Structure 1
Amino acid sequence: MSIHLQFHSIELNTDVDASTYSFASGLNAVIGSYGTGKSSLFELIKFALGARKAKIMPTVRQRLRSVVLDVTLGQNRVLLTRNIGENRISVHHENGTSERWSAAGGNLPPAGGRLLEMLGLPMVRLSKKGLEKGEPLTFFDLYRFIYLPQSDVNLSVAGHAETMLLRKRKAIFELAYGLSSEQIRELLLEISALEAKRDDMRSAANAVERFLGEIGAPQESELHAAEIEARAALAEAETRLQAVKAGAYAALPGDQEALRSRISTLRIAAADTEAARSVTVAAVRRGESLIAQLDVDINREVRADAASTALSGLEFVTCPRCLQSISDRDVPAGHCLLCTQIQSSSTTVGHQREIERLTAQRDEAVALL
């Protein structure tokens, strides 16, 4: 497996002008006296690729406005444009399409992930304590094998002197040279998660064991002996239960068929009785409703008879409330001058007869109930 990564040029833009530095295929040498910006040039390449901690000199950062990097990543030739002080990277592909990346997360695709994708390397994660999904490998883990800062010369190659980076160095090296794969890294991540789960369960088990020891709980061997004894007692109880059941069946009367027939007959009779009871309850409720209605009718007739008796001799010619004359009201014959409703033709004798009839009907309903 080989990774094709080639820088073609870098363009530095200020408010005044622009400077372009081109790189030929093969070996390139950037030479110059101390302080002329050789290291800054490589740091600006790193910045254009999406690094968040590129070491750009203050004077350069103050005057520079943007960096444009022409680079080939695998089979993709792109122009990466990044403004100083911004985390967004504008990406223009050779086929005319464009997209945007982010150097600091967010909603845009991360630059480190997209660079790995263009180089044909899988996006994998390494196990890390406290992170359930692990820690992702990015392009800048690979970049340590590509760019050695001046400060690391004679001290560290690809970060090998930093023990915290050892896992990432090893993983990215294996991926770059085909010694590992995405599936293997996923399996290693799963193994790490299972080992962490195993350790947690061991810690929980030890805590439980200490707690049981502190409260004087029996040991496992004692519990095992007690379990064997309990199982033996259970088997003996099961044997005795079967013997009791067999004795009980033997003690039952011989004429089982007649007893079952009698029970069946009683069940049918009980069901018929329950149905009759339901019918009777419904009839009682209807009778109670009828008696209540008759009570209402009797009370109405009693009130009508009382009103008829009390007002029979009165002929209203004025309103008893406002004292205005009502004798000239145009009310049809047989209607009340006050309320204009039809006057009842019933007499006291008629009311008494209706009351007697309703009372007799009520007494009959009570007797039936």
Structure 2
Amino acid sequence: MTSRLRIRAVEVVTTRTSRIFDFNRPLTALIGPVGTGKSSLLMLIKHATGGRAALTPAVRANVTRVVLDLQVEDTRLTLARSVPDPSGIVEILDPYTRDTEAQLPIRSRDGQETISDRLLERLGIPRERIPTRRRGATADTVAVTFQNLMAYLYVEAVDIDRSIAGHTETYTDRPRRALFEFLFGLNDADLAAQQRREGALNSAIAAHKAEVAAVRSFLGQTETPPEERIDEERRAILLRLNEINTALEALASQSSSTGQATDVLFAELDQAAIHERQLQIDAAQRAEAVAARRATLAQLELDSLRAQQAHVAGHVLGALEFEVCPRCLQHLDHSSVADDQCRLCRQPEPASVAASAVDDETRHRYENQIAETRHLLSGDEDAAARATDRAMTARLHLHTVRQRVDQLTRSRTAPLLTQTAALSGQHATMLARLARLDEMTTTWERFKDIELRLRADEGERKEVRSDIKRRKQAMTEARARVARFDSAFQREIELIGVPGVQEAHIDRDDYLPRIDGAAFDEIQASGGGVATAVHVAYNIALITTALDDPNVTVPSLLIIDSPQNAIGRSPTDVELSQRIYDRIANVTNAAGRRIQMIIADNALPPPPPRADWTRIHVIEFGYEDRAMIPDVWHSGPAAARTRVEDAAVE
């Protein structure tokens, strides 16, 4: 039987007041001219359940909150949501006190329960994630939400002649199909889990195959030999390394005995080098002393020469009396010069010109200093010569010791070093090749591990697919339910009298209607009225099938917005609208309170003869103060505005 879902009332709240719309009848019609709020009220119902609603500017400007009173099975559930609602929160209220019992987000936040989860749980519909592709081609999944179910329950005006439950959109079509299968028992939690597992295995197998191909290409490009040849080469290298290690140990033993003989010579060479260096330094220092002494002697000889020249000049020039200036050759007689001044430079005349000459004591002092310096220089030159001879002797000794060391090295040590270097090079080469072989082995092991995981996943996928097939085959009764839905759909097409239809059925793959072999998208060419009538017949068939079958859990609610607008106003269109309304009235009259239908339209079509529409509960809307938004004046058709999408995202 159907899952019982009923709208008890809708309260529209503004900043100044509120208005409650009661839906206490099986069939309610919202009637009124364009722009009076019929569709907006239906959109507010969708908004309250957490859906993305198309709201007019008037609603967004004046309505602050919507409260939806639901009957879900045996539970009364009251939902409230702000308008607009950038936070994406739906409140659960106590239906009697209106106190907030819980606040549930529209979108999942770290596994937190959403309003969709709460509604699906109350309706007994699985909260599942299903593969994004029909046959679980990848591990990607998408959640089945209450809004996917709402697309079956609420036929919006913009979709009534072009889309069934969002089948034209890629991101909603897969959940639509999955939800249909859950409602008819063609799928369950275990089967859905297996389908998700198949998708995960498909993704893993694809990744394994890509990795296997990449590693195989790498092995080919690097000319990696087979594992058998790698193992054979590794054994040969290990044997050669053992031989090299033995040879190196033997050379080390020989080098140890040779080293004792060379240690004495190296010690003597070190001592000779140190001694030669010290003597070279001593010789250099003594050479510097000789140079300094020679400089001192040269300065003393220069000073002595200057003293002698001054002495001679004093004697020669002191007796002269200049009458003519030796520079300008002018007579000096007319120059007024004091008696105690020099007639040339006019400086005070010295007491005696002879007194400025160098005396004998000064000359003797210079002569003594020069003689003493020459004696010291001679000693320094002798010491420097001896130091140079000693340094030369030490250098010759050092050269002799070096020759002896070189001779011993060439005859004993060099061959050992050459052999050791050669063997060490071979050892390093063998180790590098061994490391490369280890890398090759690791690559082969990785390749085998990937292949092993690939085979394991392929084996598991085969089992999962077999289990999925077995489970689907076991759902014979579920497929019979789809067949009964198919028959119900054909019956509704006939009862409504959809014009021009010769054959109608439900496709078993996508669960959508086929009319004379054409898909729903293709029958629009026949006119919006045909597509609209087919859509209405499809939804009525869903509810009637669920009424007759306790295992079909389609909820007992159907909302249809503006069917006559899509059908048209010609006489034949009006007749089609009459048949649709009459069929809806007959279904609700027969089912009573087991189902609920709500229709929004500009006006009811004229009832056909013998039609019983007395049970249609009409809620009328109008302009001025009779529009849907309470306490807001509507100035008429010119003030009507197109709808806009709400900011909240499902």
Q: TM-score, normalised by structure 2?
A: 0.32
Quote the offset at 1:26 in angstroms: 1.8
Q: 2: distance between equivalents of 1:189 and 1:171?
A: 12
Q: Is the 8 A contact 1:78 1:92 kept in 2?
A: yes
Counting aligned pairs with the same residue, the percent is 29
**Contact between 1:48 and 1:82, CA under 8 Å: does it hold in 2?**
yes
> Where does 1:103-142 land on structure 2 (aligned, <5 Å)?
103-106=106-109, 109-128=113-132, 134-142=141-149
Question: How far 1:94 sits from its partner (Å)?
Answer: 5.1
Shift of 1:188: 0.8
The equivalent residue for 2:17 is 17
Which has more helix, going by share of residues? 2
Contact 2:129 2:143 in 1 (8 A): yes
1:194-213 equivalences in 2 (<5 Å): 194-213=201-220
1:93, distance to aligned residue in structure 2 (A): 4.6
Question: 1:133 offset after TM fit, Å?
Answer: 7.6
Greater RCO (CA < 8 Å, at least 6 residues apart): 2
Distance of aligned partners of 1:37 and 1:137 in 2 relative to their CA distance in 1, 3 Å threshold: same
Please tell me whether residue 62 in structure 1 is matched to residue 64 in structure 2: no
Shift of 1:206: 0.8
Matches of 2:105 and 2:223, distance apart in 1: 60
| Structure 2 counterpart of 1:239 | none
Q: How far off its partner does 1:28 sit?
A: 1.9
Name the CA distance, whole Å, in 2 between partners of 1:175 and 1:54. 25
Query: How far is the alpha carbon of 1:223 from its aligned partner?
Result: 5.9
Q: CA deviation at 1:74?
A: 2.5
| Residues 1:180 and 2:179 aligned together | no
Q: Is the 8 A contact 2:140 2:199 kept in 1?
A: no
1:123/1:13 CA distance change after superposition, 3 Å:
same
How much does 1:150 deviate?
1.1
Asked whether the equivalents of residues 2 and 177 of structure 1 are also in contact (C-alpha less than 8 Å), the reply is: no
Q: Does the Cα contact within 8 Å between 2:139 and 2:203 map onto a contact in 1?
A: no
Taking the aligned partners of 1:131 and 1:115, their CA distance within structure 2 comes to: 29
Distance 1:159 1:120, change over 3 A: same
Report how many aligned residue pairs link the two structures: 225
Q: Cα gap change, 1:104/1:180 in structure 2, threshold over 3 Å: closer, same or farther?
A: closer
For residues 200-251 of structure 1, what are the alpha-carbon distances to aligned partners after superposition, in whole Å with 9 as ceiling and x for unaligned? Answer: 0001001111112222235xxx668x69x97xx9xxxxxxxxxxxxxxxxxx
> Which residue does 1:88 correspond to in 2?
89
Alignment of 1:325-336 (within 5 A): none
8 Å Cα contact 1:11/1:18 also seen in 2: yes
**CA shift at 1:152, angstroms?**
1.0
C-alpha distance after superposition, 1:147-167 (max 9, x if no partner): 122111211111112233221
Q: Deviations over 1:49-95 (max 9, x none)?
A: 112x2111111111011101111123321111112233222213558
Give the secondary structure class of the aligned counterpart of 2:30. coil
Q: What is the distance in 1 between the residues matched to 2:25 and 2:186? A: 28
In our comparison, the structure showing a higher alpha carbon Rg is 2
**Equivalents in 2 of 1:163, 1:78: separation in Å?**
32
Q: Give, in whole Å, the separation in 2 of the partners of 1:164 and 1:92.
A: 32
> How far apart are residue 105 of structure 1 and its match?
3.9
Alignment of 1:294-309 (within 5 A): none
What secondary structure sits across from 1:78 in the alignment? strand
Q: Give unpaired runs (5+ residues) of structure 1.
A: 234-369
Q: What is the CA deviation profile of residues 171-192 of structure 1, one whole-angstrom value per residue up to 9, with x for unaligned ones? A: 1111122221111111111111
How far does residue 24 in structure 1 lie from its aligned partner after superposition? 2.9
Is the CA contact 1:48–1:80 (under 8 Å) kept in the aligned structure 2?
Answer: yes
TM-score by length of structure 1 reads 0.55
Supply the distance in 2 between the matched residues of 1:205 and 1:106 (Cα, whole angstroms).
38
* 2:44 corresponds to: 44
Select which of 86, 101, 105 maps to 1:102.
105
- Output the CA distance in 2 between the equivalents of 1:85 and 1:56: 9
Q: 1:215 aligns with which of 217, 222, 231?
A: 222
Inter-partner Cα distance in structure 1 for 2:61 and 2:138:
39
Aligned equivalents of 1:135, 1:62: Cα separation in 2: 35
**What do residues 311-361 of structure 1 show as CA deviations (whole Å, max 9, x unaligned)?**
xxxxxxxxxxxxxxxxxxxxxxxxxxxxxxxxxxxxxxxxxxxxxxxxxxx
CA-to-partner distance for each residue in 1:276-329, whole Å, 9 max, x for gaps?
A: xxxxxxxxxxxxxxxxxxxxxxxxxxxxxxxxxxxxxxxxxxxxxxxxxxxxxx
Contact conserved, 2:91 with 2:103, CA < 8 A, in 1?
yes
Return the offset for 1:132: 6.1
Greater CA drift, 96-105 or 174-183: 96-105
Aligned to 1:259: none
Contact 1:71–1:79 under 8 Å retained in 2: yes
3-state DSSP of counterpart to 2:20:
strand
Q: Which stretch shows the higher mean deviation, 176-185 or 23-32?
A: 23-32
Q: Does 1:143 align with 2:142?
A: no
Change (3 A) 1:163 1:88: closer
Q: Distance in 2 between matches of 1:31 and 1:194?
A: 54
For residues 70 and 95 of structure 1, the distance between their equivalents in structure 2, rounded to whole angstroms, comes to 10
Task: Give the letter aligned to residue 169 of structure 2.
Answer: E
CA distance in 2, matches of 1:25, 1:210: 71
Secondary structure at the aligned position of 1:144 is classed as: helix
| Separation of aligned partners in 1, 2:195 and 2:178 | 11
| Superposed CA offset, 1:112-145 (max 9, x none) | 1111111111211113499968322111111111
2:48 aligned partner, one-letter code: A
Q: In the alignment, residue 77 of structure 1 is paired with which amino acid?
A: R
Answer yes or no: is the 8 Å Cα contact 1:66–1:82 preserved in 2: yes
Aligned mates of 2:57, 2:174 — CA distance in 1: 33
Q: Hey, what's the Cα distance between the residues in 2 that align with 1:27 and 1:77?
A: 20
Q: Secondary structure of the residue that 1:34 maps to in structure 2?
A: coil
Inter-CA distance 48–136: structure 2 relative to 1 (3 Å threshold): same
Determine if contact 1:3/1:176 at 8 Å carries over to the other structure: no
| Distance in 2 separating the partners of 1:118 and 1:26 | 21
Structure 2 alignment gaps of length 5 or more:
236-650
CA RMSD of aligned residues (A): 2.8
Question: Retained in 1: the 8 A contact 2:70–2:77?
Answer: yes
Asked if structure 2 preserves the Cα contact closer than 8 Å seen for 1:76 and 1:93, the reply is no
Q: Which amino acid aligns with 2:149?
A: L
Question: 1:101 is matched by which residue type in structure 2?
Answer: L
2:32 maps to a residue whose letter is G
Distance 1:80 1:135 in 2: 25
Q: 2 CA distance for matches of 1:153 and 1:18?
A: 31
Question: Is the contact between residue 67 and residue 83 of structure 1 (CA under 8 Å) also seen in structure 2?
Answer: yes
Tell me the secondary structure at the aligned position of residue 72 of structure 1.
Answer: strand
Give 1:42's aligned amino acid: L
Q: Which residue of 2 aligns with 1:29?
A: 29
TM-aligned CA deviation for residue 99 of structure 1: 2.0
2-structure distance, mates of 1:136, 1:49: 17
Q: Is the contact made by 2:149 and 2:179 (CA closer than 8 Å) also made in structure 1?
A: yes
